[in-house]
Structure 1
Amino acid sequence: MPQLSVEPLAFAEGEGLVCALTVDDGPHGADTERLLDGLAARDIRAVFAVIGEQIQAPGGEDLLLRTVSDGHLLCNHSTSFADMGRWDADAVRADMLDNLQSIHQAVGDDVPVPFWRAPNGSWGVTAAVAVELGMQPLAVVNTIEDWVEQDPEVLATRLRRAIRPGEIVLVHDGGGERSGTVAALLRVIDERLAAGWSFTLPRGFGKLAGR
């Protein structure tokens, strides 16, 4: 495990045409399943930032177990979609620990959860508490506004701009219907792979997935 920093991590492992894929707000039914199928077919690992309410929904634990079995890394994304930016440290810590409990109930206590990402990018004291609990804050950058738009053509255009060498990119598989996101993402991934890109993990954490 690399040394942790309260500065949210925004960079990808490797040099040159590399990008780290991060996926928020799941697990979420068929959208997550299709995304996992697509990533498995392309031998790509990503970070999945998961919500406790989604894990506890029907089918959520099974999807999370598959996510781990497929070699992806997990990120604590809170128990709900609440804005935690003004919460005090005790409230933040309690929520993080509750979500870790939900995660480990599904996948086992030995599965690491190396990252934290604040819902809505509203950090407050959450980054400091995450580091205290052994999680690296993961930056909210290179978004495609797929929480307000699900036209695959529009999202593909936004992804082509958002996928930048050496950085992470953020998409969503939950928080609503995300079939457009999945379709656009797999399309643009294929374009980038054909152009010689690699999809890695956040800088310093590749070894956790054997990469």
Structure 2
Amino acid sequence: MTAGCRSPWGGGERSAVAGATDAVSPPAVSPSATSSAATPSAVVPSGEPVHRVLTEAESKPVYELGSGRRVVALTIDDGPDPRHTPTVLALFETYGIRATFFLIGENVAEHPALVREIADRGHHIANHTWTHPDLRHLSEDKVRDELERTSDLLQRTTGRQPTWFRAPGGDWSETSLKVAADLGMRNMAWSVDPRDWARPGTPAIIDRVLKNVRPGSIVLNHDGGGDRSQTVAALKAYLPALVDSGYFFTAPPN
């Protein structure tokens, strides 16, 4: 996916949903390998979370950070998975990296302690639906159930109401964008896809990341949904290469 030229953290113009791109300015953080953990959302007296009201521009998918600095956002999809997530967390800890984990509700329900560990290590917790369906073929009620159940469980598990959402496969629809906005969540896409989910081999994953990454890239990775040993091995190789090339890592603010 290619990039355009507006900012995601403050809004800005966006093109249509299908195939749209958006370059964005990075969050106001120092150029270090850390990003502070988010605080829980406000709660009204009834106990219901207060969702941020998004502008129309903020409701569109974000594809890149701004390219003014050598900053990369790492995103991890489809977990948590007890086979691979702990190794990914340990690797990120080694390099002082904070990432965004897009979690599937069913997996959150099965591995709540692992979800809390992700949050406690300062990573950002984000919504990736309850069952990982193709949202383009679901009614609004079903889309809302997928997103709301996941956000509610993440809130109960970590004390954080997620403010970022990623549609499975990047397959957004007008309905899913509306529901995500209703729940106070912005939509994060990606600009570098090594297709690690297809298990093309560790060398292929490494090559695709290093050839396509650039300042402002959002890189897609997977720690769940199957055998992700190739992804883990690739991270072990390309993370030090990016660090040696002068890249810093960030996670968009919750």
TM-score for the superposition, normalised by structure 1: 0.88
1:154 and 2:207 correspond? no
Pair 1:121 & 2:170 matched: yes
Cα shift readout 1:138-188 (whole Å, capped 9, x = no counterpart): 114321111111522121111112322112111101011111101211311
Specify the structure having the higher radius of gyration (Cα): 2
Distance 2:10 2:139 in 1: 27
Where does structure 2 lack aligned partners over 5 or more consecutive residues? Answer: 1-8, 12-53
Q: Percent identity?
A: 32
Q: Which among 135, 139, 161 is matched to residue 185 of structure 2?
A: 135
Larger relative CO (CA 8 A, sep 6+): 1 or 2? 1
Bigger helix share: 1
Contact 1:159 1:185 in 2 (8 A): no
Q: Distance in 1 between matches of 2:194 and 2:135?
A: 22
1:32 aligns with 2:85: yes
**In 2: Cα distance, 1:128 partner to 1:141 partner:** 23
Letter matched to residue 165 of structure 2: W
Note if contact 1:92-1:129 (Cα within 8 Å) is conserved in structure 2.
yes
Query: 2:62 maps to which residue?
Result: 9
SS at match of 1:64: helix
Task: Quote the Cα distance in structure 2 between the aligned partners of 1:158 and 1:40.
Answer: 24
Residue 163 in structure 1 maps to residue 216 in structure 2: no
**Contact 1:12–1:201, Cα closer than 8 Å, also in 2:** no
Structure 1: gaps spanning 5 or more residues: none
1:41-78 C-alpha deviation (Å, 9 max, x unpaired): 11110100000111122xx1111101100111111000
Distance in 2 between residues matched to 1:164 and 1:174, nearest whole Å: 25
**Displacement of 1:88:** 2.4
Q: In the alignment, is the contact (CA less than 8 A) between 1:146 and 1:155 conserved in 2?
A: yes
Describe the superposition over 1:105-130 as per-residue Cα deviations: whole angstroms up to 9, x where unpaired: 3223xx13110100111111212211
1:150 and 1:178 in contact (8 A); partners too: no
Per the alignment, residue 123 of structure 2 pairs with: 72
State the alpha-carbon separation in 1 of the partners of residues 191 and 198 from structure 2: 16
Q: Distance in 2 between matches of 1:54 and 1:162?
A: 30
Residue aligned with 1:104, SS = helix
Report how many aligned residue pairs link the two structures. 200
Partner Cα distance (2:172, 2:238) in 1: 30
Matched letter for residue 49 of structure 1: F
User: Which among 152, 155, 165 is matched to residue 104 of structure 1?
Assistant: 155
Residue type matched to 1:77 in 2?
Answer: H
After TM superposition, give the deviation of residue 90 of structure 1 in Å.
2.2
Q: In 2, are the aligned partners of 1:162 and 1:169 still within 8 Å (CA)? A: no
Give the 3-state SS of the residue equivalent to 1:147 in structure 2. Answer: helix
SS at match of 2:184: coil
TM-score norm. by structure 2 comes to: 0.74
Deviation at 1:18? 1.1
- Contact kept? 1:14, 1:166, Cα under 8 Å: yes
**How far apart are the structure 2 equivalents of 1:18 and 1:94?**
35
SS of 1:137's equivalent in the other structure is: strand
Tell me the distance in 2 between the aligned counterparts of 1:140 and 1:13.
13
Aligned partners of 1:21 and 1:201 also within 8 Å: yes
The Cα of 1:14 is off from its aligned counterpart by 7.2
Alignment correspondent of 1:63: 114
TM superposition shift of 1:2: 4.7
Q: Name the stretch that deviates more: 19-28 or 119-128.
A: 119-128
